[in-house]
Amino acid sequence: MKPHRHRKSTLWRPGSSKPEGQPLIVEEPLSIRIQGAPYSVVMRTPGDEKAHVAGFCLGEGLADRPEDITAIAFCDGDDTNVVTVTLAPKRRKAIAGILDRREFVSQTSCGLCGKEIVADLHQQVRPVTAETRLDPQGAFACLQSLSDHQPIRRATRAAHAAAIYDDRFNLLAIAEDVGRHNALDKAIGMLFLDGRLDRAALLVLSSRISYELVQKAARARIPVIVAVSRPTTLAVDLAEALNITVACRDGRDGLNVFCCSHRFGLSTLMHA
């Protein structure tokens, strides 16, 4: 599987828009099995799976030396997202406590893929029904000014941010954190606790857009996400399924909109 795929988008710049296309990094699940039993599912970009799993085993304390692993094998050929690790008998005995305490994941199918994740989440999370219309210029301005609201980033150069605006681009909440998921949880939580989450119309992120961030936005009923970096393929697939607009910055003055571009009025602009 290639590490990136070409996806259609709409390129917006002040006063114009046109069809565009961009390569997006692939985000797919990798199910890791130890001695044939499910151990963990991690999201990753395909490639170097055996090295990925070996490093995972070292980090988890499952292996201390290469000899602790007797085999790392794909479940069914080279195109699967499931890898099984076989440990040396001596190592299995040494880490019996770790294996006994592990929390088995629910995925048992060897056909685990991004489509299954989207289908499962579509059943768990309702599509966003709000047909909010936003001025792309205003959304771009919010994205450009994000760093102005990041004191931790200015001090450390090591913080992500999530900012939430209403449909008139009034800032409702902003949070910073070393983790992008944490920053979004904090920003959503502020509005959730204040009873103001229903005003949220635009989410601005300092990071790329992964499928988990789309899922969180859908749970918060936020219809538009704009980010500094491009989304992953899985993020766009999920956003399309949940009727969420996803866009990222393109150069100094543009946005690449990957789905649900009607909220920016781009279907009209393109034929103007």
Tell me the pLDDT tens digit for each residue of 55-83: 889 888 899 899 999 999 988 766 678 99
pLDDT in tens, 213-241: 999 999 999 999 999 999 999 999 999 99
Q: Which of 57, 110, 113, 142 is catalytic?
A: 110
- Domain ranges in the chain are 4-25+123-269, 28-116
Q: Identify the CATH homologous superfamily for domain 4-25+123-269.
A: Cytidine Deaminase, domain 2 (3.40.140.10)
Q: Which residues of 104-119 are buried (b: 16+ CB within 10 A; e: fewer)?
A: ebebeeeebebeebbe
Residue 12, strand partner residues: 17, 255
Distance CA 31, CA 53 (A): 10
Q: What distances in angstroms separate CA 58 from CA 67, 87, 181, one per listed residue?
A: 12, 12, 25
Can 57 be counted among the known catalytic residues? no
Q: Which residues contact 78 (CB under 8 A, 6 or more apart)?
A: none
Percent of the chain with pLDDT over 70: 92
Distance CA 77, CA 80 (A): 7
Mean pLDDT of the chain, nearest integer: 88
On the question of a common fold for 4-25+123-269 and 28-116, the answer reads: no
